[in-house]
Amino acid sequence: MNNYATFKDLAETSVFITGGGSGIGASITEGFLSQGAKVTFVQRSDCDEFLDQVSSKYKHQPLFIKCDITNTNDLKDAISESIRINGGITVLINNAANDSRHTLDELTSEEWDQALNINLKPHFFSAQAVAPSMKAQGGGSIINITSIGSMQGFPDNPGYVASKGGLRMLTKSLAIDLSSENIRVNNIVPGYISTDMTKNSRNDSILYQERLDRMIIKRWGLTEDIVGAAIYLASNASSYVTGIDLVVDGGWVAKGL
């Protein structure tokens, strides 16, 4: 029987991306635009330069909504606006994150709350807000961007590691709770990717080499390396995939000695 899963034609699919104007998020935004999708992305800061780069390249111009995702009402309003303009959301990508590094002794109550309020809390409420739209369309895909820090311990960054670990397990919980609505929920787990968030490690020759030595594929990742995983998890090719951690890390997690 020829019933193989194939990549869904993502043209005209409505995609909502948090933190979609810079770093990994910008590459994901452009990746879905290149497939003909209708993309809404939110970001706390202006991103005029990125919008100028992509607005004339693809069939659809991205819809940018300036939004602080730590404000739940503003986040829900942005999702409602995207649904109103694009007629629903079938793919949600929770990418926005913050790595404000603080050691165990330094971490304050406010900084702990900030880590969870950016890296965990909004991802639940965005999923809650898009679920009715996905249900009305017969299903959808929610993709959370976690970190190898969600799977392994890393020093001097307890707030970030705890928040990403929480997101990893939230994904598995939501995969169960939303399964009856044909909504799949999965994680993409990046390793060391060349972004502003990792520039301190990249610019320190010792730290750079230590991280490179831990990888099986001997290079740091590019933001574009995450795009294929996102398209796969959004597409029909992953129709039997939910609740997983899709690790894109050059072999970091797999390596022993």
Task: Supply the residues annotated as catalytic.
Answer: 160
Contact 126, 79 (CB under 8 A): yes
CA distances from 47 to 12, 42, 57, 72, 76 (A): 23, 10, 16, 21, 21
Closest CA to 191 of 159, 220, 229: 220
In this structure, the number of other CB atoms found within 10 A of the CB of residue 242 comes to: 21
The C-alpha atoms of residue 162 and residue 150 are separated, in whole angstroms, by: 7
CA distances from 131 to 10, 19, 63, 95, 126 (A): 19, 20, 20, 17, 9
